[in-house]
Amino acid sequence: MIILNEESPRVVLCVSSKDQVEGDALAQLMSGANLPGVVHAAGLADIHPGMGLPVGAAYLMENMVYPHIPGTDAGCGVGLWKTSLKPGKINLDRWSKKLNGLDDPWDGDTLEWLAEFGVEADEPDPGLGTIGGGNHFAELQQIDQIWDADRLKDLGLKKRDVVLVVHTGSRGLGSALFWEYANEGGAQGLPGDSDSASEFMRKHARALDWGRANRALVARRFLSCLSAKESLIADVCHNSVEKINVDDREFFLHRKGAADATQGPFVIPGSRDAFSYLVEPVGDQKENAFSLPHGAGRKWPRGHCKARLSSKYGKSDMTHTKLGGRVICEDSALLWDEAPQAYKDIEKVMQELETHDMARPIARLRPLITYKTRSKNRQGR
């Protein structure tokens, strides 16, 4: 753990050496920490430069709310479902062919689905149950290594089980919320006790619930294609503002690409050609602002990947991974932009968590099928 600033705002970097973090990400972390209201800022092991502020960071604020920190994808998170798919029946090519229609609007009752997640809506929502673009994905994985069999059993899982991991968020809703507040307090922030902050927090909470409902519907639709059933194991958000109490004082905890460490076990995804980890947060989580890494972290900017990779790899290397997985992504630009090489090493993130005693692994998950899109031109997130 590296303390970048001792006094208020306390700024900590939850890694072993500053050298492993890009200078731009460090500068962005300090600039976030200098926003009025910050008392504590934490850069996590997957920190990397973002749009103005780093991805992989959390800020504890006193009486200030900044809508631009969770950004356009408020409510984004990662869910894990146990599936009824039998390990002995795994057939990746046959299953891949069956995964169709997931980019189209769902033909069920979106109002009823949202109501089950506490979201009131007046009109059917064609975005609900869709994954979106960018690095969002739905990925079938298999439990392949175990550190804590008892904990895994408590969660209803065991070795070789086939699980589904869904990474997506609040789609158009989060984006609309961001733009609504872009001029009103977007970057300057809203006083925490103002009506504007209360209104933002109400709309933001709805976006978080919508994101949870969306991941659950993506899981249902994905597994319906395979005539399988799902049961929820964990669902943890990584872009949010939350009101919390610490030592009897009230704060607004802002997370940008930082998993909520207060909700129990959750999945840290690696890449479509790397392992993901089911982890258990440990310790009091105070230095890391009650937040943990939400991934391996991006290494290469989007738009640079094809030029770096296409002389060495062909398209079929992108759709058939070294770990033996399949990738469904018919948008060629997205296929390259989200190449596994564009991400940092998840094993280093796990090493940091162990070194700093912030989370321990329960099990390792091997990717089987990564679904991105069947659309040739997937726009937006």
Ligand X SMILES: Nc1nc2c(ncn2[C@@H]2O[C@H](COP(=O)(O)O)[C@@H](O)[C@H]2O)c(=O)[nH]1
Q: Mark out the alpha helices in 310-378 (DSSP H runs).
A: 315-319, 332-337, 346-355
In angstroms, what is the minimal distance from the CB of 78 to ligand X? 7
Two tokens, residue 88:
């002995």
Q: Which is nearer to Mn ion, 76 or 143 (CB)?
A: 76
Would you say 204 is a known binding-site residue?
no
CB of 278 to ligand X, least distance (A): 12
CB of 2 to Mn ion, least distance (A): 25
Nearest residue (CB) to Mn ion, 95 versus 178? 178
Q: Is 137 annotated as a binding residue?
A: yes
DSSP category for residue 298: B
- Report whether 304 belongs to an annotated binding site: no
Half-sphere exposure at residue 40, Cβ-oriented, CA atoms within 13 angstroms = 15
Q: How does DSSP assign 75-126, residue by residue? A: T-EEEEEEE---GGG--HHHHHHH--STTSPPSS-HHHHHHHTT---SS--T
**Is residue 76 within the footprint of Mn ion (CB under 5 A)?**
yes
Is 197 assigned a ligand-binding role in the annotation?
A: no
Give the 3-state secondary structure of residue 365.
strand
Question: Is residue 68 annotated as involved in ligand binding?
Answer: no
Distance CA 181, CA 307 (A): 36
Residue whose CB is less far from Mn ion, 131 or 190: 131
List residues binding ligand X (CB under 6 A). Answer: 46, 55, 76, 135, 137, 139, 167, 238, 257, 269-272, 276, 294-298, 338, 343, 367, 370
From the list 294, 304, 320, 356, the catalytic residue is 294
Kindly tell me which of 38 and 76 has the beta carbon lying closer to Mn ion: 76
- In the bound state with ligand X, the residue whose beta carbon lies nearer, of 174 and 257, is 257
DSSP 3-state of 44:
strand
Task: Measure the CA–CA gap between 245 and 363, rounded to whole angstroms.
Answer: 31
- Note if 294 is an active site residue: yes
Of Mn ion, ligand X, none, which one sits near residue 166, judging by CB under 5 to 8 A according to partner kind? none
**Minimum CB separation from ligand X for residue 222, in Å?**
14
Cβ atoms within 10 A of the Cβ of 38, count?
21
Nearest to 274 by CA among 338, 329, 217: 338
Nearest approach, Cβ of residue 257 and ligand X (Å): 4
Q: Which does 273 bind (CB under 5 to 8 A by kind): ligand X, Mn ion, none?
A: none
CA distance 296 to 350: 9
What residues contact 36, with CB distance under 8 A and at least 6 apart? 64, 189
Check the annotation: does 139 bind a ligand: yes
Which residues are designated catalytic? 294
Binding positions for Mn ion, rule: CB under 5 A: 76
State the binding site for GMP.
135-139, 238-239, 276, 294-297, 372
State the binding site.
135-139, 167, 238-239, 276, 294-297, 372
